[in-house]
């Protein structure tokens, strides 16, 4: 039996003086139910953990050590009825530590309990130990001095360090210098690439990265008791983004949003460490200015901060930016979009309004839910009030089970005549649980000086849809070697050349690229990039000129990253128990002026014109529709049904 435990348990370093509370790894959940397919055929050991063990009263602080994985909800941890804290809300495997205060243990029998949340949350816990020393000593004994530099330009780089044991478990640690690092279990963001890590002796893997555009460097480290080991790593830019600015337009802080765990000072380090060049503060119903904190943390030269606000209502969440200092905060009690959106638009300075995570349920309301929105026709209950510039099709902290769902919604809105851009963001409230900038938008604008961006150019690109959506990949699109994202392609011949390019770092892969016209898949191709850094694929298609105006969009996808340095999170509100992580890169439309009139006509406008020209005669309409795509046919049917009711 002992041999089985040694083979199957995660690698936790057990000291001779440690007291074993639970030696096994346990599956906690609800019998007969499962949260994810991975737990479908796995027996539940218990709904909650309760362990009785013998101990002696502790005169000084001791530490509870436990291994955990797949924790989504709140699991309180109690010792002898006294709450020590909770499990860390994170799905990544880690050892978490909780302080046992002096007198927390008693002579004789003690009881450790981990209480279950009311809702289903399959987790793994164990082994569980008690270390007879304070937490600072548990994460001490050896040191690793890390230096991360720019492999091309030299000099230290703001970056993210991820330290795991050899089996991938995030390792608790301490990091210095104070004020220049943001630290969580196994993760350190550093202002200038330098950090001194304190940790137990052992064998580790250290990853250094700086977000999507940069390489990830991996080092295996063995450090003995009392040893200080030096590790130097170099990062290189792997994704060409000249002329494109990396934006996260959905960022929160614990300081001003009141939940999550990222204090505003820590947030500055995560922005710089993930290579975001335009950081838009969007605390809930609050106008946050990052500039003073960026300056005090020494990262002001790394990015341009913008004041924004996530107007958080019971009928949807909307990001508004930029906002002039001192502007009045919008009334978030307003639920009528016809009143709310004009008030947001009237906020001094506002140029862009985005609809956030449109398929998420909050306060019983889903912005693109069934009662509000027809996903086939794109008709929205509040269509006349839908004055937004963009919508999130990727929110990395609130992923969808079906990564194409929000794209289909967006296509339907475009076909209905709404000129709305697609964007990606993180919606991160945390230092590590959801990685800032994992979902990001690239905006066409001059990017030579990240601290002094031309914001007028940025907002103009938002309005014109000159944006790229990124979650581990970057896709670009060119028509006739001339027209690109946001352009109206005019003067089209009978044959059109469409070139799609996919980029990414060496640590992501693309395996599929799709071309959509009016939201209809018209071309697709498999990709084999073998972890190439930079350009992963360049595909050229020759298309016949369509019979009417269409918009073209490219979506590239690939296997999701599963390692802790950039793990793709599970869906926030899953619609399926199966989880297959994917990376995504997509464009906004190139608008094809197929009829040569110098303007773009959406599917709904074409449908209205065909109905008018036919006089409502369905036979004539059917004949006309033979030359049109399905998007126009859907709009014709919708308009005809409405007119006949």
Same domain, 251 and 130: no
From CA 92, how far away is CA 174, in angstroms rounded? 19
State yes or no: pLDDT of 252 exceeds 90.
yes
Tell me if the bond preceding 154 is cis, omega within 30° of 0. Answer: no
Lowest mean pLDDT among 14-18, 122-126, 319-323: 14-18
- What value does the mean pLDDT take over residues 493-505? 98
- Can you give the pLDDT at residue 640? 86
CB distance 142 to 225 below 8 Å = yes
- Can you give the pLDDT at residue 263? 97
Same domain, 592 and 538: yes
- Confidence grade of residue 10 (pLDDT, cut at 50, 70, 90): very low
- Confidence grade of residue 13 (pLDDT, cut at 50, 70, 90): low
For residue range 422-480, what is the model confidence (pLDDT) as tens digits?
999 999 999 999 999 999 999 999 999 999 999 999 999 999 999 999 999 999 999 99
**Chain centroid offset of residue 574 CA:** 15
Same domain, 291 and 411: yes
- Confidence grade of residue 556 (pLDDT, cut at 50, 70, 90): very high
For residue range 631-643, what is the model confidence (pLDDT) as tens digits?
999 999 999 876 5
CB distance 354 to 316 below 8 Å = no
Same domain, 293 and 425: yes
Same domain, 230 and 246: no
For residue range 316-361, what is the model confidence (pLDDT) as tens digits?
999 999 999 999 999 999 999 999 999 999 999 999 999 999 999 9
- Can you give the pLDDT at residue 294? 98
Same domain, 174 and 78: no
State yes or no: pLDDT of 644 exceeds 60.
no
For residue range 374-390, what is the model confidence (pLDDT) as tens digits?
999 999 999 999 999 99
- Confidence grade of residue 8 (pLDDT, cut at 50, 70, 90): very low
Q: How many structural domains are present in the chain?
A: 5
Same domain, 164 and 296: no
Tell me if the bond preceding 127 is cis, omega within 30° of 0. Answer: yes
Task: Identify the residue with better confidence: 16 or 386.
Answer: 386
- Can you give the pLDDT at residue 618? 86
Same domain, 337 and 440: yes
For residue range 613-633, what is the model confidence (pLDDT) as tens digits?
998 788 988 988 899 999 999
- Can you give the pLDDT at residue 617? 86
Q: Which CATH number is 51's domain given? A: 2.60.120
- Can you give the pLDDT at residue 645? 43
How many Cα atoms sit within 13 Å of 11 on the Cβ side?
13
Same domain, 476 and 440: no
> Where does residue 626 fall: left (phi above 0), alpha (psi -120 to 50 degrees), or beta otherwise?
alpha
What is the pTM assigned to this prediction? 0.95
Q: How would you class 434 by CB atoms within 10 Å of its CB: exposed for 0-12, middle for 13-18, buried for 19 or more?
A: buried
From CA 292, how far away is CA 624, in angstroms rounded? 61
For residue range 191-239, what is the model confidence (pLDDT) as tens digits?
999 999 999 999 999 999 999 999 999 999 999 999 999 999 999 999 9
- Confidence grade of residue 14 (pLDDT, cut at 50, 70, 90): low
- Can you give the pLDDT at residue 468? 98
Same domain, 571 and 610: no
Q: Among 100, 14, 16, 15, which Cα is nearest to 59's? A: 100
- Confidence grade of residue 16 (pLDDT, cut at 50, 70, 90): low
Average pLDDT taken over every residue of the chain: 95
- Can you give the pLDDT at residue 17? 73
CB distance 617 to 568 below 8 Å = no
Q: Which CATH number is 251's domain given? A: 3.20.20.140
Report the chain's C-alpha Rg in angstroms.
Answer: 27
Domain boundary among the residues 202, 235, 268 is at 235
- Confidence grade of residue 6 (pLDDT, cut at 50, 70, 90): very low
CB distance 166 to 207 below 8 Å = no
Domain boundary among the residues 202, 217, 235 is at 235
> Domain range spanning residue 187?
139-235
Same domain, 296 and 343: yes
Domain boundary among the residues 446, 469, 492 is at 469
Question: Any idea which residue has 């999701």 for tokens?
Answer: 560
- Can you give the pLDDT at residue 12? 54
Same domain, 553 and 492: yes
- Can you give the pLDDT at residue 15? 59
Full DSSP string of 3-23 = HHHHHHS------TTPEEEE-
How many Cα atoms sit within 13 Å of 185 on the Cβ side?
27
- Can you give the pLDDT at residue 2? 26
């Amino acid at each position: 039996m002992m041999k089985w435990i040694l083979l199957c348990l995660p690698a936790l370093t057990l000291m001779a003086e440690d007291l074993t509370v639970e030696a096994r790894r346990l599956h906690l959940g609800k019998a007969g139910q499962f949260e994810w397919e991975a737990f479908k055929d796995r027996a539940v050991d218990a709904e909650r953990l309760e362990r009785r063990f013998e101990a002696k009263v502790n005169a000084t602080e001791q530490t509870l050590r436990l291994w955990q994985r797949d924790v989504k909800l709140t699991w309180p941890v109690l010792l002898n009825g006294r709450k020590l804290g909770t499990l860390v809300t994170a799905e990544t495997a880690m050892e978490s530590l909780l302080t046992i205060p002096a007198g927390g243990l008693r002579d004789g029998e003690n009881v450790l309990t981990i209480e279950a949340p009311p809702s289903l949350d399959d987790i793994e816990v164990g082994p569980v130990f008690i270390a007879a020393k304070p937490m600072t000593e548990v994460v001490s004994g050896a040191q690793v001095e890390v230096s991360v530099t720019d492999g091309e330009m030299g000099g230290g780089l703001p970056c993210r360090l991820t330290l795991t044991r050899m089996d991938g478990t995030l390792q608790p640690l301490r990091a210095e210098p104070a004020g220049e690092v943001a630290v969580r279990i196994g993760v350190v963001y550093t202002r200038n690439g330098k950090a001194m890590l304190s940790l137990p002796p052992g064998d580790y893997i250290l990853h250094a990265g700086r977000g999507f555009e940069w390489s990830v460097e991996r080092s295996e480290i063995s450090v003995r008791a009392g040893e200080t080991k030096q590790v130097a790593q170099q990062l290189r830019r792997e994704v060409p983004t000249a002329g494109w600015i990396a934006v996260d337009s959905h960022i929160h802080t614990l300081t001003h949003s009141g939940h999550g765990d990222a204090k505003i000072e820590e947030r500055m380090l995560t922005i710089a460490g993930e290579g975001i060049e335009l950081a838009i503060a969007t605390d809930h119903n609050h106008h946050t200015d990052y500039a003073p904190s960026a300056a005090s943390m020494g990262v002001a030269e790394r990015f341009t901060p913008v004041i924004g606000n996530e107007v958080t209502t019971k009928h949807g969440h909307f990001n508004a930016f930029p906002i002039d200092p001192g502007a009045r905060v919008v009334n978030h009690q307003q639920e009528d979009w016809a009143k709310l959106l004009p008030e947001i638009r009237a906020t001094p300075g506002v140029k862009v309004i985005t609809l956030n995570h449109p398929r998420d349920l909050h306060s019983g309301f889903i912005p693109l839910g069934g009662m509000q929105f027809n996903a086939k026709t794109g008709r929205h209950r509040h269509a006349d009030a839908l004055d937004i510039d963009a919508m999130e099709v990727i929110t990395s902290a609130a992923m969808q089970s079906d990564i194409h769902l929000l794209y289909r919604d967006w296509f339907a809105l475009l076909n209905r005549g709404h000129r709305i851009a697609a964007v990606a963001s993180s919606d991160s409230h945390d230092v590590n649980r959801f990685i800032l900038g994992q979902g990001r938008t690239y905006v066409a604008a001059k990017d030579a000086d990240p601290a002094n961006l031309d914001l007028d150019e940025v907002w103009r690109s938002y309005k014109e849809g000159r944006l790229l959506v990124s979650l581990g990949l970057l896709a670009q699109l060119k028509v006739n070697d001339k027209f690109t994202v946001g352009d109206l392609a005019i003067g089209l011949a009978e044959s059109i050349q469409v070139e799609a390019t996919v980029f990414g770092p060496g640590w992501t892969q693309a395996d599929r690229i799709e071309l959509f016209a009016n939201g209809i898949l018209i071309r697709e191709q498999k990709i084999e990039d073998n972890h190439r850094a930079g350009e992963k694929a360049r595909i050229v298609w020759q298309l016949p000129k369509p019979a009417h105006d269409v918009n073209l969009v490219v979506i590239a996808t690939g296997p999701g990253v599963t390692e802790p340095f950039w793990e793709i999170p599970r869906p926030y509100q899953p619609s399926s128990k199966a989880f297959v992580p994917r990376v995504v890169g997509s464009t906004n439309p190139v608008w094809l002026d197929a009829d040569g009139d110098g303007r773009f006509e959406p599917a709904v406008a074409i449908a209205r014109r065909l109905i008018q020209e036919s006089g409502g005669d369905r036979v004539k309409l059917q004949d006309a529709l033979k030359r049109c795509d399905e998007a126009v046919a859907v709009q014709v049917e919708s308009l005809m049904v409405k007119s006949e009711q």
